[in-house]
Amino acid sequence: SFMQDVLGISDRDLQLCTVEWSDIVEKMSEAQSSGRCRIAIFPGATTGASVGSSFRRQTNSTNNPSNTHVPSQNNQGQDSAEGGPTSYLVVTQRIMRRENFLIAFFNRGMLDLTFPSLPSWLWPFSILVNKPRHEKMVFYSKSIEWSIYFCVLNYMFNHSRKIRPAFYGDPSSLRRRFVLCGVAHAVFMPFLLFFVTLHFFMLNVYDWQSTKEYLGPREWSAVAKWTFREFNELPHLFERRMEPSYK
């Protein structure tokens, strides 16, 4: 495999978590510089952020020199200017390209996650719901996050990992995807409520029987996690940074 043959990292090291992510990226950069592997670059790529993530080993380069890939001068200049296609920042940006947009959505307050206002004839529910925006309760669940990925983030990039022109040039398509997700939520809502309730009960019933005062797991909400998260912060690094807050 690529990890073991090129980087010298065994499956056991990965299972025991004895290798840091920064070490893997460093070994990958060394393999790229020494010519043991190369990065497949998409056509038309101009910066290190446009470099493809697929790796291809240079096998039999000694016996068959014609198989050896020699990067062009333009690519070499781009790699040196951008820190190389395997630099830590470029690799992290590639992994976090969708999550960075979601972090920006929360930082800029672009997502209205509050309950919509109700007409006055739905009293007394309208009194409880119709409040100023800063006083309304925020609703954010895994189903809403999946909808954002499906409607916005997954559709945003094309096969070259660039923002597709149709994404920002056709707002009606985005509207149709949101309507489709809304219909799907309305259809499957009873089943989702039953599953979530059953999952929460089965997951926390033992702790409730032990303490008799258990009110649920003590953890940050999803909105708080996305608000706290930094740009280009990988999931395992974010969990490591948040871990002391649970103690």
The SS3 assignment for 187 reads helix
Beta strands in the chain, from DSSP E residues, in sequence order? 37-41, 51-57
- Would you place residue 234 in the very low, low, confident or very high pLDDT band (cuts 50, 70, 90)? very high
Considering the chain, what is the average pLDDT of its residues?
Answer: 76
pLDDT at residue 72, rounded to an integer: 38
Per-residue pLDDT for 61 more than 50?
no
| CA distance linking residue 138 with residue 133, whole number of Å | 10
pLDDT at residue 22, rounded to an integer: 85
- Would you place residue 83 in the very low, low, confident or very high pLDDT band (cuts 50, 70, 90)? low
Per-residue pLDDT for 235 more than 80?
yes
| CA distance linking residue 68 with residue 59, whole number of Å | 8
Query: Phi, psi at residue 39, to the nearest 5°?
Result: -100, 130
- Would you place residue 49 in the very low, low, confident or very high pLDDT band (cuts 50, 70, 90)? very low
Q: Which of 18-22, 135-139, 193-197, 210-214 has the lowest mean pLDDT?
A: 210-214
Q: At how many degrees (to 10) do helices 88-95 and 97-107 cross?
A: 70
Q: Which amino acid, residue 194?
A: F
To the nearest 10°, the Cα dihedral for 91, 93, 95, 100? 170
- Would you place residue 213 in the very low, low, confident or very high pLDDT band (cuts 50, 70, 90)? low
Average pLDDT over residues 214-220: 70
pLDDT at residue 214, rounded to an integer: 59
